[in-house]
Amino acid sequence: MVLSVSANPSLPFLPSSFGPSPIRTSDVLRSQTTALSMTDEASDEAIVSQSLGGDPHAFGLLVERYQGRILGTASRFARNRHELEDLSQDIFLKAWKGLPTFRATAPFEHWLMRLAVRVCYDFLRKNRRFRENEISRELVNEKNDRLKEESADNADLDAGEAREVLQHAMASLKPKDQLVLTLKELEHKSVREIADLTGWSVSNVKVRAMRARNRLKENLIELGYGN
Amino acid sequence: METENDDLDRLFESAKPAMDQDAAYVALGLQTRVLAKLNSPSRSEDTVSQWANAFLRGAFVSVFIALALGGWAWFQTDLNFGTADFALSALVQNANWPSTQLLP
């Protein structure tokens, strides 16, 4: 599939103060011409180097290519669509800004996933207090009581309710614990993969994952969701 | 009372479809939104505010360093409080302060 870039007149060029390098209109016109020849089969490195030249449309191809992976991971951290929208955009915007730091010694996908995990971790840290407050308010809601009753006898919760229960129990965990649990239990990453993504040692990840899981169990029981 | 591992695993698995649904919803138009953000003028405003913040931070640090150096110099020289007090009274007398004219 050929990337059609000239079809979108609303995205002529970026401000020179933002992005991998200053962009001039002539650069954009030239890059659009070259982008027309860029296919889906082009290597990540080739697209990255073109993006580094200041071509946001080439970067758009990377977004299209990896949005599934990024959204898959980010959706485990966000509580709703609005948060997920913000979080995924933030990841790609940070990737754009950080492109000059990308070294082709490792695959682009690894670099992007590490960055995504870092942004998700920052997101958890920033929203921690807000989440805790919100959870404590929600605990008095009738809706919550209903959820407790339903889950107390191990009834099958629907996906939305299960997510809500999980979010309640996870909210009081430390951001690092939330990160490890999410990657391990929801993303099914191995300990080594998590260590690679987070930059922590394998033993640290193992210990943290085990403790976090135990804390989560305790939280579920405290909240009345255990049996 | 203990939550069994199976229950916990089942809870994780049960929660996933809702997350996947959100991901599928947000995927629609994500590329366009990201490109629009890259092209947004607010980005340059962000940069301006970053520069302003950096400037303010720099000014604050400069004032702090100047105060620290001034304080250090104050205590290193003879310009201590006693001297300053003496200098002030000398100034008052030399300036022919009105109150001194009342003295006999």
Model confidence at A221, pLDDT cuts 50, 70, 90, reads confident
Please state the ipTM of this predicted complex.
0.70
Model confidence at A19, pLDDT cuts 50, 70, 90, reads low
Contact list in A for residue B2 (CB cut-off 8 A) is 217, 221, 226
A120 C-beta neighbours (distance < 10 Å), count: 26
What are A28's two structure tokens? 């954009």
Determine contact, residues A112/A95, Cβ cutoff 8 Å: yes
Range in A4-13, A108-117, B12-21, B92-101 the model is least confident about: A4-13
What is each CA distance from A155 to A131, A162, A168, B39, in whole angstroms?
26, 11, 18, 49
Determine what percent of chain A is predicted with pLDDT higher than 90.
44
CA distance A74 to chain B (A): 8
Determine contact, residues B31/A67, Cβ cutoff 8 Å: yes
Across the interface, whether the CB atoms of B39 and A92 are under 8 A apart is answered no
Across the interface, whether the CB atoms of A93 and B34 are under 8 A apart is answered yes
Across the interface, whether the CB atoms of B30 and A220 are under 8 A apart is answered no
- Pick from A153, A22, A147, A76: which is nearest to B7 by CA? A153
Residue-wise pLDDT tens digits, A94-104: 999 999 988 88
Contact list in A for residue B15 (CB cut-off 8 A) is 159, 162-163, 165-166, 186
Contact list in A for residue B16 (CB cut-off 8 A) is 159, 186
What is each CA distance from B30 to A8, A202, B24, in whole angstroms?
15, 34, 10
pTM (2 d.p.): 0.65
- In chain B, which residue's Cα lies nearest the Cα of A11? B39
B43 vs A15, A160, A227: nearest CB: A15
Contact list in A for residue B7 (CB cut-off 8 A) is 154, 226-227
A217 vs B3, B18, B44: nearest CB: B3
Contact list in B for residue A85 (CB cut-off 8 A) is 26, 30, 33
| Alpha-helical regions (H) of A80-201 | 81-98, 108-126, 128-138, 142-152, 159-171, 175-181, 191-198
What is each CA distance from A205 to A37, A55, A110, A200, A208, in whole angstroms?
44, 38, 19, 7, 5
Whether the per-residue pLDDT at B84 is higher than 70: the answer is no
Distance CA A145, CA A128 (A): 23
Distance CA A86, CA A74 (A): 10
Contact list in B for residue A80 (CB cut-off 8 A) is 22
- In chain B, which residue's Cα lies nearest the Cα of A14? B39
DSSP for residue A99: G
Model confidence at B73, pLDDT cuts 50, 70, 90, reads confident
Across the interface, whether the CB atoms of A157 and B14 are under 8 A apart is answered yes
- Report the SS3 class of residue A39: strand
Determine what percent of chain A is predicted with pLDDT higher than 70.
68
Predicted confidence at residue A11, as pLDDT, reads 37
Range in A61-75, A132-146, A175-189 the model is least confident about: A132-146
Determine contact, residues A153/A167, Cβ cutoff 8 Å: no
Across the interface, whether the CB atoms of B3 and A14 are under 8 A apart is answered no
Distance CA B8, CA A217 (A): 7
CA distance A113 to chain B (A): 16
The mean pLDDT value for B42-54 works out to 73
Residue-wise pLDDT tens digits, A180-218: 999 999 999 999 999 999 999 999 999 999 999 999 999
Determine contact, residues A114/A125, Cβ cutoff 8 Å: no
